[in-house]
Amino acid sequence: DAKTTQPPSMDCAEGRAANLPCNHSTISGNEYVYWYRQIHSQGPQYIIHGLKNNETNEMASLIITEDRKSSTLILPHATLRDTAVYYCIVRVGGGTSYGKLTFGQGTILTVHP
Amino acid sequence: EAGVAQSPRYKIIEKRQSVAFWCNPISGHATLYWYQQILGQGPKLLIQFQNNGVVDDSQLPKDRFSAERLKGVDSTLKIQPAKLEDSAVYLCASSLGHDRTSGTGHEQFFGPGTRLTVL
């Protein structure tokens, strides 16, 4: 699976949009971009995933560049409860990978009052 | 819908002792994963089951770690004997399985983890 690069930490004011970047310049055509987050003392939580089109759900939006070499996770109105480590993961969606996730260091997002 | 259950939540043992962790996945989830998360790092996959068969155990230290998923439901992870470097949070996750075309159905649901301290 392709390697991802994320900033180690970011800050955001409560109520503002949090934009978390991720670089995955070696992504292959059959690899999806997944985002998970991990709040302190909890297991990781799935947020969103996409292949090439932008995606939106009740938690966040995922913007993938046209060349698919980078993406941005957007939390439109960050709250204090969004403080967590955010992981960007690139993974083969089909074939024999059987859903294996390879976690990096992630980005520590701190939302301030 | 009940989530992934794990027990115990915390365990403290001395090195060279044995320890076992238990996981009950979400009902109907065919795929079960065990991850190890050392403080300050992302989770690392130890073993993955599809029903009761092992799909990937390439990063499982097989000289001391073992895991089983009898009947394709609950799973146990055992460490025998434990070393200081095994201190970590052990996470269990489950998913419906894999979809070869859409990438959906791969969402993994994680349990709260078991925090192991080896003294």
- Write the DSSP assignment of A47-68 as a string of letters: EEEESSS-EE-SS-EEEE-TTS
- B112, HSE (Cβ side, Cα atoms, 13 Å): 9
Residue A93 · residue B102 · CB < 8 Å: yes
Interface of A with B in 26-85 (CB under 8 A): 32, 41-46, 49, 51, 85
Report which of A79, A74, A75 is spatially closest to residue A64, judged by C-alpha positions.
A74
Closest residue to B111, CB basis, from A41, A43, A98: A43
For residue A82, pLDDT beyond 80: yes
To the nearest whole Å, the CA of B112 is away from the closest chain A CA by: 5
pLDDT tens for B19-60 read 999 999 999 898 999 999 999 999 999 999 988 899 889 999
Distance between CA B74 and CA A44 in Å, rounded? 20
Q: Do B31 and A93 touch (CB under 8 A)?
A: no
| Residue B103 CB-density burial (10 A; 0-12 exposed, 13-18 middle, 19+ buried) | buried
Q: Is the pLDDT of residue A101 over 90?
A: no
Range of weakest confidence among A13-17, A32-36, B65-69, B88-92 = A32-36
pLDDT of residue B102: 60
Q: Is residue B1 pLDDT above 90, yes or no?
A: no
